[in-house]
A and B are shown apart, each in its own frame.
Chain A
């Protein structure tokens, strides 16, 4: 078999999706694929472009795994553009002079931003907003700027305004129409959106016709038709897009009147060997500026190429987005243009919520909807429209708050199995149900198994509903109860314990649980009690709840010995400290290693030796490093501005301060912090539960990162903070985590489990929307005041060191701990290297 030469022009979101569809379905070797992309980098997520400012790495937005192209043998030409298609010869010519032949050609060239012909709009201070390079250029210009304006108040324009605001500019939005997002919203919805955006400090000017841009010195003046003016430092145009159909025009392929390469239901152009997909294509005279229809086209074209039956049947332009932190949803006929259409409106000026339903004249069918400020109903309403589900007798109950009128039962059970839940990846309700039947038990697992919810993410609440409905239908019980002894979640139990001032496990299980307790609830309640009261972990009634690590204040190793890890805040250690540590390690014959947490671990300590070892270390000025506890382990630092030529802030000094501030506080799982003195990020802070990165203006605070088994980048919680503000936010974050996470849940999983994720955290911690801030800070201050070095406290209590003895009836050392040499130190003897300890049957 000779491989078909397939050439794909364009490696944007849709082009990439096409490739993935194809390599997924085609035989290996069936196609010899070449991809030509004009941008210098492979496909990335344009929908979430503004999140680029949170991480500043291309990888975070990348759509394909780094080895995607090599793994599938795809020839990738980046930074190269096709200049001409020679249809007769079946070849293309690129701007670099290459000539590439094809059997089948796929055009996925996307669109380009359209800038109106306004005088002055070609000045270097004028930008468009489409690519990562556009963003980098805007960012570079913004460094010396104070203010910026976005011309165009549509969906993308508001995205761009969010980017300007994130760059710290005084931000304006100019819109020609009388309302924002005139495509998606009706007048009242647009008005509500405008009020909410105004309240965020972005100045919105509607009904403004920009006529001219005049440059004076470093500044620029926009002149409007009504005589008004606006002075700004940089300008971003977001005045619509046009299909990138130039190749078709030169190749004499038909294009639609309003632009776009004409395609049929199979995404074929007038040439049977050329497909066009995504924003460059026009189906029945219309082009689609959203990603979901483009994805559908990618699927249809791939299927048709391989001889499978599939057709593009149009797409509705429904969308749910978050613009400048304001949630907006638009479904179907949002403007009520269908003849006879009737509408229902709910408006709450105080809460900033606007909802409108458009229904058919007979009231039986949902035609469209507008949602501003509260989009919880989006998924259900969209399904109702798509599947033409019957409307309730009183359609307004669909948008009223729960307290104002009974809501009909949740929509998912009414959906047919074929209903598409995720339109980005075309995943039906049936497929999600099958995934649940196949063992998926969480939204995360469904995402991994089906791809649903991994595009725009708008369907995630609906996926959760289908998941829960399927679980209960299939009789699978999901319980967040702590264990069989406590029928409460950890968070609920925390509040019961806190509110009722419960100080012991016995009281907790008597009042809120049943039975004796187990290996799950005993340490979990001990952790809750510690997070609530920070009492001494080895108080006799608490000591017997602790896992062995906490019970003996060391990490149990595989041979029954413990590790000894004193605190080295920020990774700092004095020569005197090192010498003391070395002396102890030598005297007790401990294996010595630098750990992953910028400190030194001594391994192989006998339980009975622990008090003597720690007495020596405390004499030398060390304290417990809590390496054994579910609590703050360390703050990893780079050397920062004290020594580093590039550092802009004192990361070590601040790291030491932070480590002392949060040390000893018990949390649901361990926490690791990182702090870098500049954006080079040598402390790898974004891989930590809390990451702090210095900026010229202060500190950026990231949360929820993780290394380990499932790496996750921390997400930006707040930027350019001064010390006091950062400490306040961090106090709230740590306390909220301690109080509301599940047992043994790291911050990464916790953030992912929160409805709204990082946005919820930002609302709660930064905006203090729930009014919890002061209480969380007070709770943390109380715990800090109760801090004591556990080893110091233990050694001061004459009763305690005897607890550590190897045997309760003998001063002997445990003969089971045996060691053999390795690289100049000692390691535990393997089973076959150990002297056998005889075990005889005892007389009954």
Chain B
């Protein structure tokens, strides 16, 4: 798998998120703690079809971490994109790597 460098890890606030543009795709990055754990989901809220998930709050329910959409608060699991309210509305989850203080996402293959 080829990786593309996105940004320094420190560019994402601990507890916060950011949006990366890869080709035509918008990817939400989440950094729940002050360490190197980073999660990536498709940025589009599947209920509203609007690209905003990176601006949601990172929340804990049922012992797991989710992002709550900033539009209407549906929650999507950081680890795999599953929607808590309705699994039919789950979002794509992407692998993400952090090396030497930099965040990498996979390059999209045609």
List the interface of chain A (C-beta within 8 A of B). Answer: 484-485, 515-519, 522-523, 540-541, 543-545, 547-548, 551-552, 556, 558-560, 806-810, 812, 814-816, 831, 837-844
Which A-chain residue is minimally distant from B91 (CB atoms)? A839
Are B108 and A515 in touch, CB under 8 angstroms? no
Are A842 and B60 also in contact (CB < 8 A) when A808-B12, A808-B19 are? no
Task: List 16 interface pairs A-B (beta carbons < 8 Å), by A numbering.
Answer: A484-B61, A516-B58, A519-B59, A519-B68, A540-B14, A544-B16, A545-B57, A547-B70, A556-B71, A558-B71, A560-B52, A808-B12, A810-B20, A831-B49, A839-B42, A839-B92
Chain A residues with CB under 8 Å of B18's CB are 808
Are A518 and B61 also in contact (CB < 8 A) when A543-B16, A807-B21, A839-B44 are? yes
A540 to chain B, nearest CB (A): 5
Are A808 and B29 in touch, CB under 8 angstroms? yes
Which B-chain residue is minimally distant from A808 (CB atoms)? B18
Which single member of A518, A522, A523, A551 contacts B55 (CB below 8 Å)? A551
Query: Once bound together, how far apart are the Cα atoms of A809 and B59, in whole Å?
Result: 25
Known: A519-B57, A551-B55. 20 other contacts (CB 8 A): A515-B60, A518-B59, A519-B59, A519-B68, A545-B57, A552-B55, A556-B70, A806-B19, A807-B21, A807-B26, A808-B6, A808-B19, A810-B20, A816-B51, A837-B24, A837-B26, A840-B108, A841-B92, A842-B106, A844-B95
Which single member of B1, B6, B15, B92 contacts A809 (CB below 8 Å)? B6
Chain A residues with CB under 8 Å of B32's CB are 516
Chain B residues with CB under 8 Å of A543's CB are 13, 16
Which A-chain residue is minimally distant from B52 (CB atoms)? A560
Are A548 and B56 in touch, CB under 8 angstroms? yes
User: B37 in the interface, Cβ–Cβ < 8 Å?
Assistant: no
A-B complex: 4 closest residue pairs judged by Cβ atoms:
A516-B60, A544-B15, A548-B70, A518-B59
Q: How many residues of B contact A (CB 8 A)?
A: 44
Chain A residues with CB under 8 Å of B75's CB are 519
Are A843 and B71 also in contact (CB < 8 A) when A517-B60, A518-B61 are? no
Are B57 and A556 in touch, CB under 8 angstroms? no
B9 to chain A, nearest CB (A): 11
Query: Once bound together, how far apart are the Cα atoms of A589 and B20, in whole Å?
Result: 25
Query: Once bound together, how far apart are the Cα atoms of A548 and B1, in whole Å?
Result: 34
Chain A residues with CB under 8 Å of B55's CB are 548, 551-552, 556
B79 to chain A, nearest CB (A): 14
Are A816 and B26 in touch, CB under 8 angstroms? yes
A538 to chain B, nearest CB (A): 10
Query: Once bound together, how far apart are the Cα atoms of A838 and B12, in whole Å?
Result: 26
Query: Once bound together, how far apart are the Cα atoms of A843 and B108, in whole Å?
Result: 7
User: B98 in the interface, Cβ–Cβ < 8 Å?
Assistant: no
Are A516 and B65 in touch, CB under 8 angstroms? yes
Query: Once bound together, how far apart are the Cα atoms of A844 and B94, in whole Å?
Result: 8
Chain B residues with CB under 8 Å of A816's CB are 26, 50-51
Query: Once bound together, how far apart are the Cα atoms of A513 and B10, in whole Å?
Result: 27
Which single member of A516, A560, A806, A812 contacts B50 (CB below 8 Å)? A560
Question: Quick one: which of B11, B42, B57, B95 has the most chain A CB within 10 A?
Answer: B57
Are A522 and B25 in touch, CB under 8 angstroms? no
B26 to chain A, nearest CB (A): 7
Chain B residues with CB under 8 Å of A843's CB are 1, 106, 108-109
Query: Once bound together, how far apart are the Cα atoms of A841 and B108, in whole Å?
Result: 9
Are B56 and A815 in touch, CB under 8 angstroms? no
Query: Once bound together, how far apart are the Cα atoms of A560 and B68, in whole Å?
Result: 15
Are A808 and B57 in touch, CB under 8 angstroms? no
Which B-chain residue is minimally distant from A548 (CB atoms)? B70
Chain A residues with CB under 8 Å of B49's CB are 831
Query: Once bound together, how far apart are the Cα atoms of A333 and B58, in whole Å?
Result: 64
A838 to chain B, nearest CB (A): 6
Are B44 and A522 in touch, CB under 8 angstroms? no
Chain A residues with CB under 8 Å of B11's CB are 808
Are A523 and B57 in touch, CB under 8 angstroms? yes
B74 to chain A, nearest CB (A): 10
A774 to chain B, nearest CB (A): 37
A723 to chain B, nearest CB (A): 41
B 24-56 contacts with A by CB, 8 A: 24-26, 29, 32, 42, 44, 48-52, 55-56
Which B-chain residue is minimally distant from A807 (CB atoms)? B21
Are B109 and A810 in touch, CB under 8 angstroms? no
Are A518 and B60 in touch, CB under 8 angstroms? yes
Query: Once bound together, how far apart are the Cα atoms of A253 and B103, in whole Å?
Result: 96
B 82-97 contacts with A by CB, 8 A: 92, 94-95
B104 to chain A, nearest CB (A): 11
Chain B residues with CB under 8 Å of A831's CB are 49
Are B50 and A558 in touch, CB under 8 angstroms? yes
Which B-chain residue is minimally distant from A505 (CB atoms)? B15
A526 to chain B, nearest CB (A): 10
Are A522 and B59 also in contact (CB < 8 A) when A556-B52, A558-B50, A815-B24 are? yes
A678 to chain B, nearest CB (A): 43
Chain A residues with CB under 8 Å of B57's CB are 518-519, 522-523, 544-545, 547
B70 to chain A, nearest CB (A): 4
Question: Quick one: which of A518, A807, A843 has the most chain B CB within 10 A?
Answer: A807
Query: Once bound together, how far apart are the Cα atoms of A816 and B25, in whole Å?
Result: 10
A545 to chain B, nearest CB (A): 8
Chain B residues with CB under 8 Å of A814's CB are 26, 51
A541 to chain B, nearest CB (A): 7
Chain B residues with CB under 8 Å of A545's CB are 15, 57
Are A808 and B50 also in contact (CB < 8 A) when A841-B92, A842-B92, A842-B94 are? no
Are A842 and B108 in touch, CB under 8 angstroms? yes
Chain B residues with CB under 8 Å of A544's CB are 13-16, 57-58
Chain B residues with CB under 8 Å of A540's CB are 13-14
Which A-chain residue is minimally distant from B11 (CB atoms)? A808
Query: Once bound together, how far apart are the Cα atoms of A425 and B94, in whole Å?
Result: 62
Which B-chain residue is minimally distant from A843 (CB atoms)? B109
B10 to chain A, nearest CB (A): 11
Question: Quick one: which of B29, B70, B106 has the most chain A CB within 10 A?
Answer: B70
B106 to chain A, nearest CB (A): 6
B98 to chain A, nearest CB (A): 14
Are B108 and A808 in touch, CB under 8 angstroms? no
Query: Once bound together, how far apart are the Cα atoms of A124 and B25, in whole Å?
Result: 84
Query: Once bound together, how far apart are the Cα atoms of A560 and B51, in whole Å?
Result: 7
Are A807 and B19 in touch, CB under 8 angstroms? yes
Chain A residues with CB under 8 Å of B52's CB are 548, 556, 560
A806 to chain B, nearest CB (A): 7
B30 to chain A, nearest CB (A): 10
Which single member of B21, B44, B71 contacts A810 (CB below 8 Å)? B21
Which A-chain residue is minimally distant from B54 (CB atoms)? A808
Query: Once bound together, how far apart are the Cα atoms of A603 and B73, in whole Å?
Result: 22
Which A-chain residue is minimally distant from B64 (CB atoms)? A516
Which B-chain residue is minimally distant from A549 (CB atoms)? B70
B64 to chain A, nearest CB (A): 10
Chain B residues with CB under 8 Å of A517's CB are 59-60
Chain A residues with CB under 8 Å of B71's CB are 556, 558
Which B-chain residue is minimally distant from A811 (CB atoms)? B21
Chain B residues with CB under 8 Å of A522's CB are 57, 59
Query: Once bound together, how far apart are the Cα atoms of A544 and B16, in whole Å?
Result: 5
Query: Once bound together, how far apart are the Cα atoms of A519 and B75, in whole Å?
Result: 10
Query: Once bound together, how far apart are the Cα atoms of A841 and B50, in whole Å?
Result: 18
A634 to chain B, nearest CB (A): 24
A841 to chain B, nearest CB (A): 7
Which B-chain residue is minimally distant from A522 (CB atoms)? B57
